[in-house]
Amino acid sequence: MDRRMLLRMCGAAALLARVGSAANSARQPTVPAEVAGITPPRSELALAAAGFAQQNCPDFLFNHCMRTFIFGALLVQRQRLSFNRDTAFVASALHDLGLLQPFESPLGSFEIDGADAAERFMLTRHQSAAESDQVWHAVEMHDGKWALTARQGPEAMLVSLGAGADVYGVDPGELETRQIAEVLAAFPRLQFKQRFTSLLVAHCERKPNSQRGSWLEGLCRKHVPAVEADSVEERIAAADFAE
């Protein structure tokens, strides 16, 4: 049984019930009809995802997820790529759930926990296994190696590009100043730098060894002395072979 399957099985029943209940009771989300020339999808699935994200995320994180979709859509469109708007929107809206305690597993990275939660959300909304898997990969790979993310398709690329633009800034010339201003007006940052960093540090403090080999490993090592320190060299030497 591989790591992904093990993590998905752990606590799946309880989380499935909670996701389904929350999705059905989520309030009407606050999403404009159009932002910077991008029209967020208004399907039942998309509205449910936005409502679920708004219900479960602090305000600054919800706004980040919405900016992720808008920035990502703008950047993907610049590459003249088409994408499934519902799938990309759901993945964007739910891509950081794994940073929140209610969605954490005991050992999983936030990327895998978030991907599992997003996939369960899709399945409880009676979406196909293929589309649910597409959302899983878009969430899990949103901060991973670009070559792998790009191989997953434009939906995964959108989440990765959008999240990266919002966290690290937009590269000069990629988007117009007017577009960026419209996105920030629709979804203000609300002290994003400080509050998002605090959220990441708190995650590291709760699960210091869950991010080894991931985007957050460096931050976890900086802030949490309890992170286990080993190396490839040490692991090779410790293998149960004579030579």
DSSP assignment of 60-104: HHHHHHHHHHHHHHHHHHHTT----HHHHHHHHHHTTGGGSGGG-
Q: Residue 230 has what pLDDT?
A: 66
* Cβ 102 vs Cβ 78: under 8 Å: no
pLDDT at 145 over 70: yes
- Among 30-39, 111-120, 221-230, where is mean pLDDT lowest? 221-230
Q: Which residues are CB-contacts of 56 (< 8 A; sequence separation ≥ 6)?
A: 22, 97, 100, 102, 103
Can you give the pLDDT at residue 3? 44
Q: What is the mean pLDDT of the chain?
A: 89
Burial level of 217, CB count in 10 A (0-12/13-18/19+)? Answer: middle
Q: How far is CA 118 from CA 26, 59, 203, in A?
A: 15, 19, 19
Q: What is the mean pLDDT of residues 107-131?
A: 97
Rounded distance between C-alpha atoms, residue 204 and residue 198, angstroms:
10
| Whole-prediction pTM | 0.85
**CB-based contact 53:94 (threshold 8 Å):** yes
pLDDT band of 10, cuts 50, 70, 90 = very low
In the predicted model, is pLDDT for residue 25 greater than 60? no
Exposed (0-12), middle (13-18) or buried (19+): which is 47, by Cβ within 10 Å? middle
DSSP state of 156: H
